[in-house]
Structure 1
Amino acid sequence: MLPQAARMRDGDEFRRTIRRGASASTGTVVTHLALTDELGVRVGLVVGKKVGNAVVRNRVKRRIRHALRSELAGLPAGSRVVVRALAPAAESTDLAGDVIGSLQRASRRSSAGRV
């Protein structure tokens, strides 16, 4: 589970991160990463109904949160991350690897600027 302070809940914060952040994708997830002047790292998840029913969506969210938990410390302060799960995420055997890989690629691309 992610710490309470690391969770993104505001819709505007999601939109700003997606619109202005660097993105990277795999076949199972799309990761958006934006750098802000604020303190702390915040993460938001988007898992739509195309992924599956509620049980499957919640399982995918738990797997993504577990993968991100170990990566939070390595992100620069002020990072905002949105991970959007795609339909194949439900059957993925290496979802954690996809999440970490796309986060690393987005991190390399995000060094261009801050939101």
Structure 2
Amino acid sequence: MDARSWRLAAGRDVIASRKSRPSAGRSSVPVRGFPRALRLGRRSEYEAVYRGGQRRSSQQFIVFFRPNGGEHSRFGISVKKALGGAVVRNRIKRRIREILRLSQSEIPSGWDIVIHPRSTVARAEFASLQAELLRLLRSVVK
């Protein structure tokens, strides 16, 4: 075995040993995530919300929604390219997903919801985004 292949093999061994290590110091408390079951994924699902749903808007968001007949609400986030480059758009989506993750208990269930952020979202404070989006989502039920 030459030196190069030994280094590659050693690198693989190190990586494998990191993966197989027990999780020392990690708590057993479940992490509240944003699983795929709570997301809209297909284009047809988005189109169904646009065609058969209603719309609410605010200074920072446009929210489209329609009942889905299920136990949980499902969410889609659509960020226009005009809002910025990929880094900016991905940051906006991460912030919205975090708001949804933190506020799962406050969000009405049984809806398909598509969120369109407006250009002011990129510069807004997280707390103001959270308050405004939750206000819009609560208005879905009314």
TM-score range, shorter chain: 0.7 to 0.9
Counterparts in 2 of 1:10-49, with a 5 A limit?
Answer: 10-49=42-81
SS at 1:9 equivalent = coil
Q: Which is bigger in relative contact order (C-alpha 8 A, separation at least 6)?
A: 1
Are the aligned partners of 1:22 and 1:107 in contact in 2 as well (CA < 8 Å)? no
1:98 alignment counterpart: 132
Corresponding pairs, count: 107
Cα distance in 2 for partners of 1:33, 1:100 equals 14
Q: CA deviation at 1:5?
A: 1.1
RMSD: 1.7
Q: Distance in 2 between matches of 1:21 and 1:72?
A: 21
Task: Select which of 75, 78, 82 maps to 2:108.
Answer: 75
The gaps in structure 1 that reach 5 residues or longer are: 109-115
TM-score for the superposition, normalised by structure 2: 0.67
Q: Distance in 1 between matches of 2:141 and 2:51?
A: 15
Comparing both structures, which one devotes a greater share of its residues to strand? 1
Q: How do residues 49-88 of structure 1 correspond to structure 2 at under 5 angstroms?
A: 49-73=81-105, 74-76=107-109, 78-88=110-120
Taking the aligned partners of 1:60 and 1:54, their CA distance within structure 2 comes to 10
**Could you tell me the percent identity over the aligned residues?**
28
Letter in 2 for 1:43: F
Asked if the contact 1:41/1:79 (under 8 Å) is kept, the reply is yes
Q: Which amino acid aligns with 2:91?
A: R
8 Å CA contact 2:108, 2:137 repeated in 1: no
Partners of 1:106 and 1:83 in 2: how far apart? 12
